[in-house]
């Protein structure tokens, strides 16, 4: 299936067409060089959503072919868009200097993906998220059945999975969790869109409060080609904040699941600080929830229990050669 070509687009909030949206759940997936895990990401989520909008940019791998094949298989649930403008990588000086409504901005690229969704409830899906199916099903049912608080951004998180020096699966001590209030299910409004931050694209949640909704996926970024840092173009951007993050990751020990859960347990100071509310309170809720979410003795046991098909995911179930 052919993707619709997008060139020279510049975002305006009216493009969101909030009043014309229909009941249902849209996922939007922005990707560049996502071939490692994009198929398993889509397959593990597709049954829960009314559509997945895939927008790809500057892919040098098989991403375009993979999503075209999946779009053919899952027609009309998957809708494809090829964003052709050169997008400045996050963390670069180019990104910092590029206005958010420029076709070269990650902000504009992200907003285009948001614009292309058609339903009232929306969720951002990354190309390296492996679903925890029962938990995704529960939150989608809450929105479909009118039980979800539509005045809130229902923030979700996932544990980061990586491999140690001997190829064993673990959780990096430097960054054990993904989802810091920036990913969640929400009801689209006129003021819910991305805006420019010199460091990255920032999601503006408008009037939505933030609540923690649970651990709904496994984050496989650090299992991707280049340890998940390929798209930041670090050779050309050595001062990028992501260059420092890569060093931290490379020096990080791998933790077992119980050790990661223990390390994430909030301290007394964090509990006290969270009383001020805001993001600190959200992070406290996230860290408090991890013990109940993952009581398993090993990471493999948790994967078997929560995402039984993980053994068949290349690069996760079996290391790439």
Is 81 strand, coil or helix? strand
User: Which residues constitute the domain of residue 32?
Assistant: 4-312
Whether 88 maps to a domain, the answer reads yes
Instruction: Give, in degrees to the nearest 5, the angle at Cα 10 between 9 and 15.
Output: 95
**Which tens digits make up the pLDDT trace of 244-280?**
999 999 999 999 999 999 999 988 877 887 777 888 8
DSSP at 20: G
* CA–CA dist 99, 244 (Å, integer): 25
**Which tens digits make up the pLDDT trace of 132-144?**
999 999 999 999 9
Using CA atoms, how far residue 55 sits from 59, 80, 142, 193, 265, in Å, is: 11, 6, 27, 16, 37
Return the CA Rg of the chain.
19
Looking at the structure of the chain, the number of domains it has is: 1
pLDDT of 321 > 70? The answer is no
Whether 294 maps to a domain, the answer reads yes
Whether 320 maps to a domain, the answer reads no
Whether 121 maps to a domain, the answer reads yes
Q: What is the pLDDT of residue 78?
A: 98
**Which tens digits make up the pLDDT trace of 35-63?**
999 999 999 999 999 999 999 999 999 99
Whether 81 maps to a domain, the answer reads yes
State what percent of residues in the chain have pLDDT above 90: 92
């Amino acid at each position: 299936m052919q993707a619709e070509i997008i060139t020279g687009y510049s975002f305006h909030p009216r493009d969101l067409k909030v009043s014309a949206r229909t009941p249902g759940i849209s996922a939007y997936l922005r990707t560049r060089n996502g071939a490692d895990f994009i198929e398993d990401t889509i397959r593990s989520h597709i049954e829960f959503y009314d559509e997945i909008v895939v927008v790809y940019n500057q892919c040098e791998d098989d991403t375009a072919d993979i999503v075209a094949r999946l779009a053919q298989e899952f027609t009309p649930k998957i809708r494809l868009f090829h964003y052709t403008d050169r997008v400045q990588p996050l963390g670069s000086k180019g990104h910092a200097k590029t206005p958010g409504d420029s076709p070269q901005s990650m902000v504009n690229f992200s907003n285009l993906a948001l614009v292309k969704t058609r339903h009232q409830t929306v969720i951002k899906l990354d190309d390296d998220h492996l679903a925890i199916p029962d938990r995704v099903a529960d939150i989608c049912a809450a929105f479909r059945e009118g039980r979800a608080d539509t005045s809130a951004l229902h923030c979700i998180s996932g544990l980061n999975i990586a491999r140690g020096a001997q190829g064993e699966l673990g959780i990096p001590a430097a960054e054990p969790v993904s989802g810091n209030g920036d990913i969640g299910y929400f009801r689209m409004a006129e003021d819910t869109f991305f805006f420019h931050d010199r460091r990255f694209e920032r999601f503006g949640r408008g009037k939505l409060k933030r609540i923690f909704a649970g651990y709904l996926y496994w984050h496989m970024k650090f299992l991707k080609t280049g340890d998940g840092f390929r798209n930041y173009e670090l050779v050309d951007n050595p001062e990028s904040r992501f260059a420092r993050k890569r060093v931290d990751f490379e020096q990080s020990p791998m933790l077992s699941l119980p050790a990661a859960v223990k390390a994430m347990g909030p301290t007394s100071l964090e509990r006290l600080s969270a009383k001020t509310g805001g993001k600190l309170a959200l992070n406290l809720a996230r860290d408090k929830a991890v013990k109940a979410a993952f009581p398993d003795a090993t990471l493999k046991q948790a994967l078997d229990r929560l995402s039984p098909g993980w053994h068949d995911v290349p690069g996760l179930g079996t290391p790439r050669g």
